[in-house]
Amino acid sequence: MTVRSLVQMACLLLLLPLAAVNAEPKRKSVQSLVAAADALKKNDPKVKNAKVWESLSAELNAAAERRPRNEQSEDALYAYARLEQFRFRAAKARTALTRAVDAFERMAVEHVGGDQTDDALLALGDLRRDGLKDEVAARAAYYEIIDRYPGSNAFETARSRLGLSARVGSTPTKVAVAQPTAEPTRAPTARPTPLAEVEDREPVVAPTAAAILPPESRKVFAKESTVRRPLIVIDPGHGGEDLGALGADGVLEKDVVLNVSEFLDEFLRERLRARTFLTRSRDVFIPLPDRTKLANDKDADLFISIHANASEYKTASGIETYYLDNTNDKSSLKLAKRENMSLDFGGGSKNGIDVSFMLSDLIQNAKLDDSISLAHTLQNALHANLSLYYRDVNNLGVKKAPFHVLVGAHMPCVLVEISFIDHPVEGRRLAEKRYQRMVALAIYQGVREFFVSRTER
C-alpha cells in the first residue's frame, strides 16, 4: 500500500465519527410534535393511517419522558394523551384507551398546578366514565378538580358532571395552582387534614387525599374520624440473591414486584391516608420469617405480599390471590414450594414446612375469615380493573396454600400473584411501568373496598 493510500485511509477514518454524528436524526421540538398531532387529527379524523399515528404517538411520549417535569414535558405529555384519546374515540382502539388514561393520570401526578392539568383531569374522568365504565373512579377525577383547581376553566364542568349546582355569579378563569405544602384553611368536614409524619418514613403531606377518594369513602381515615388510620405492611417478594422467577427478556420477579410495591405504597399513603411500611425498599434479601416479624412488630393492620407467577410450560396466565391454609391442591403446593425456596438463603429452616405448626397458629386462625375476605376483595379488584384495559385477563380466583411468608402473622394477610412473568404476553406487560401502576392501583382499590366494607358492618 502506497503512502498516499495510507493518508487517504487515515483521513477517511477521521471523518467517519463526524459522518455518524451528522447522520443521527435530529430530535423534533415539542412544539413541532404538538403541531403535527393537531394536523394529524384534522387530516386523518378516521385514523386510517395507523402507522403514522403510532409513530407520532411514540415520539410525543418519548419527548415527555426524556425531559424533566417542566412546561415542555407537560405539553408533550398532554398532546400524547389527547392524541391517544382521539384515536380511541375514532377507532375504538383499546390500546389507545389504556395509553390515554395512563397519560392523563401521569399529568395529574407529575404536573400538579400545570396549565393543562385541570383539563387532563376532566378528560381522565370522562374516559373513566365512558370508556372504562368506572363511575367511582370518574367521580374521583372530577372531585380532584373541585378540591385542587377551584379557579380553573374545568371547575364548573366537573361540578356539572357530578350533578352539583353551579355557583351563582361564578366566572372561573384558569390559574396556575402551586403544590401546597399545608392544608388550606377550611371547615374540618370539607377536607381531611394533611397526613402526619408516618413512622419510619419522611413526613408526607397529602392535601388531595379527599379529592381522590369518592365521598362515601372520604370519612374513613380522616383524622376527625374515630377510625384509626391503618398501618399496611407491603412485602415485595424475593430480593438480593433471591431473584424470584425469570421472565421474558431477562425480567426478574424481584425487580417487578418492588416497582409494584412502591406504586402501591404511594397510592395507599396519598389516596387512602394509610400508614405504610415496606419490608424492603431496595434490592436486598430479607428472610421470610423476618418479613412477618416486621409486620407483627409494627402492629400492622394488613400484610400484603406481592409476587409474580411462573409456570413449568410458560403458557399459564392470569392473576390469583392466596391466603394461608393447608391444601391438597398440587398446583398450589408446587407454587408454595417455589416461593418458599428463599428459606434456603436465610440459613434457617428449609422449604419443608411444618403444616401442623401452621394450622395450630391460633393467632392467624383468628384472622382467617378476614384474610379470606381480603383475598376475595383484592382478587375482584384486580380482575375487574385490569379487565377494563385488557380483554384477556384470566381470573384464577382465590386459593389457599402454605406460604411461609404468611406464617405467624397477627393480622389479615394475603399473597398476590400479579401475573405470570414467563408468559409471552403477561411477561412483557409486567416489565412496563404502566402495567405495574395499573396493578398497584387495582390492589389499592381492593384495600380501600376492604376497609370501607368493614366500617359499614
H/E stretch holding 335: helix 330-339
Run means of pLDDT, 10 residues per run, the chain, 457 residues: 58 51 63 93 92 91 78 90 94 87 88 91 93 83 89 92 65 38 31 29 32 42 59 96 89 96 92 92 93 94 96 90 81 71 53 46 68 96 88 92 87 95 92 91 93 75
Choose among 453, 433, 298: nearest CA to 369: 453
C-alpha cell at 447: 384495600
Burial label for 405, CB within 10 Å (0-12, 13-18, 19+), is: buried
CA 410 to CA 114: how far, in whole Å?
44
Q: Are 406 and 305 in contact (CB under 8 A)?
A: yes
Residue ranges, comma separated, of all CATH 3.40.630.40 domains in the chain are 213-455
- Cα-to-chain-centroid distance, residue 422: 20
**309, HSE (Cβ side, Cα atoms, 13 Å):** 27
Neighbours of 151 (CB within 10 A): 14
CA 208 to CA 231: how far, in whole Å?
20
Give the residue carrying C-alpha cell 414467563.
422
- Cα-to-chain-centroid distance, residue 450: 18
| CATH classification code of 30-161 | 1.25.40.10
Give me the phi and psi of 456, to 5 degrees please.
Answer: -90, -5
Looking at residue 174, its amino acid is K
Choose among 18, 20, 80, 72: nearest CA to 53: 80
The domain defined by 213-455 folds into Aminopeptidase (3.40.630)
- Cα-to-chain-centroid distance, residue 438: 4
CA 67 to CA 79: how far, in whole Å?
15
pTM of the model: 0.62
Give every CB contact of residue 324 below 8 A, 6+ residues apart in sequence: 358, 364, 368, 371, 400, 401, 402, 403, 406, 407, 409, 413
Q: Can you give the pLDDT at residue 116?
A: 93
Q: Hey, what's the torsion of the CAs at 420, 294, 210, 386, to 10 degrees? A: 10
Give the residue carrying C-alpha cell 379529592.
211
H/E stretch holding 447: helix 433-455
Give the residue carrying C-alpha cell 399513603.
269
Residue ranges, comma separated, of all CATH 1.25.40.10 domains in the chain are 30-161
Q: Can you give the pLDDT at residue 166?
A: 54
C-alpha cell at 441: 392501583
- Cα-to-chain-centroid distance, residue 449: 17
Choose among 372, 386, 396, 248: nearest CA to 319: 396
- CA distances to 66, 95, 122, 210, 242 from 433, in Å: 15, 15, 23, 26, 22
